[in-house]
Amino acid sequence: MATNFTYLASSERYSHMATMYNRCGKSGVLLPKVSLGFWHNFGDDAPFERSRAITRYAFDHGVTHFDFANNYGVPAGSAETNFGRLMDEDFRPYRDELFISSKAGYGMWDGPYGEWGSRKYLMASLDQSLRRMRLDYVDLFYSHRYDPNTPIEETLHALVDIVQAGKALYVGISNWPLEPLKAATRYLRERDVPLLIYQGRLNMLNREPIEEGILDFCREEGIGFIAYSPLAQGLLTDRYLNGVPSDSRMAQEHFLKSDRRTPELLHYLHELEAQGKASGRSIAQEALNWVLAQNGVTSVIVGASSVEQLKNNLETIL
């Protein structure tokens, strides 16, 4: 483990306390309005020093919340492993200033115990995540998706036990439908481990959490809501206005397919661009601003493949 830290965080990082943070539901936790996600651009498939620069830039500007899942990065797990190195080399002195989340739910290892919502999987996965990230605990641990074949009591009891074992401080739920979310809220509250936050995909092109009543439910119940893919993986930016750049997510044709770049989308982007010009905002800033303006949204989790992108996104709120 490195003992001489070369990174000294900016002394200005909390100079925007009044505007940078939102209370997470009715909890004691404040989260930055813009959080950083490690799904893409932080695995072994990305240049490590670029990932380090983005992470440092985030923390230097008050972004205290970093979002992971067991399977982030290529290969799966490498985003957490690389962050473990960053913990040792850069962030160990700042551990108590960071709010780090991870999740389990999607396929992570072979065999019957490597995905979904069993106690067996969740417990083993969090232990693996902690080892990869070189952490004693995460601040927040999520069930990453609803498992229709596992009793929700089994999944939720595992979350409660994880908190009681000190391996996570809070629990969250991601991508669950409304009815099981309501049952989970009751179950966890009765066990004094209240649901801190719901993580769902919300952006100008995907409004399901609003349409399905999830955002309203969270607000009414005092549960935070954190929006993932607030830029629709980059669609709601200037990235694809003039084609598909070879270094973009769309060029990989995996999670973001080029058939999403339709004439209708380009028309919509040009309208957003024109709307933003009036207020001096980029397309990305217009899109983030829209999500943050929805009543009940605590934070947006942005991805970034460069410091410049993150800087642009943070200017939405700074």
Ligand X SMILES: NC(=O)c1ccc[n+]([C@@H]2O[C@H](COP(=O)([O-])OP(=O)(O)OC[C@H]3O[C@@H](n4cnc5c(N)ncnc54)[C@H](OP(=O)(O)O)[C@@H]3O)[C@@H](O)[C@H]2O)c1
Interface with ligand X by CB under 6 A: which residues? 37-41, 67, 144, 174-175, 199, 228-234, 237-239, 248-249, 284, 301-305, 309, 312-313
Query: Is there a contact between 80 and 132 (Cβ–Cβ < 8 Å)?
Result: yes
Task: State the nearest-atom distance from the C-beta of 42 to ligand X, in Å.
Answer: 8
User: Is the Cβ of residue 145 or residue 191 nearer to ligand X in the bound state?
Assistant: 145
Supply angle C-alpha 297, 301, 306, rounded to 5: 145
- The CB density around residue 159, as the number of other CB atoms within 10 Å, is 27
What kind and span of H or E run contains 203?
none
Length of the chain: 318
Peptide bond into 230 cis (omega under 30): no
- The CB density around residue 145, as the number of other CB atoms within 10 Å, is 17
User: Is the Cβ of residue 191 or residue 311 nearer to ligand X in the bound state?
Assistant: 311
Task: State the nearest-atom distance from the C-beta of 110 to ligand X, in Å.
Answer: 21
Task: State the nearest-atom distance from the C-beta of 190 to ligand X, in Å.
Answer: 25
Helix %, strand %, coil % of the chain (to 5)? 40, 15, 40
User: Is the Cβ of residue 191 or residue 252 nearer to ligand X in the bound state?
Assistant: 252
In this structure, what DSSP letter does residue 206 have?
A: B
Task: State the nearest-atom distance from the C-beta of 85 to ligand X, in Å.
Answer: 18
Copy the structure tokens of residue 168. 């996570």
Task: State the nearest-atom distance from the C-beta of 37 to ligand X, in Å.
Answer: 2
Task: State the nearest-atom distance from the C-beta of 39 to ligand X, in Å.
Answer: 3
Task: State the nearest-atom distance from the C-beta of 74 to ligand X, in Å.
Answer: 13
Distance CA 26, CA 96 (A): 21
Distance CA 228, CA 200 (A): 6
Supply angle C-alpha 78, 80, 81, rounded to 5: 60
User: Is the Cβ of residue 17 or residue 48 nearer to ligand X in the bound state?
Assistant: 48
Copy the structure tokens of residue 314. 């943070």
User: Is the Cβ of residue 9 or residue 205 nearer to ligand X in the bound state?
Assistant: 205
3-class state of residue 253 by DSSP: coil
Task: State the nearest-atom distance from the C-beta of 298 to ligand X, in Å.
Answer: 14
User: Is the Cβ of residue 18 or residue 214 nearer to ligand X in the bound state?
Assistant: 214
Cβ contacts of residue 24 below 8 Å, gap of 6+? 30, 31, 196, 197, 224, 298, 299
Task: State the nearest-atom distance from the C-beta of 68 to ligand X, in Å.
Answer: 7
Q: Is 6 exposed, middle or buried (0-12, 13-18, 19+ CB in 10 A)?
A: exposed
User: Is the Cβ of residue 5 or residue 60 nearer to ligand X in the bound state?
Assistant: 60
Distance CA 80, CA 37 (A): 11
User: Is the Cβ of residue 191 or residue 204 nearer to ligand X in the bound state?
Assistant: 204
User: Is the Cβ of residue 180 or residue 234 nearer to ligand X in the bound state?
Assistant: 234
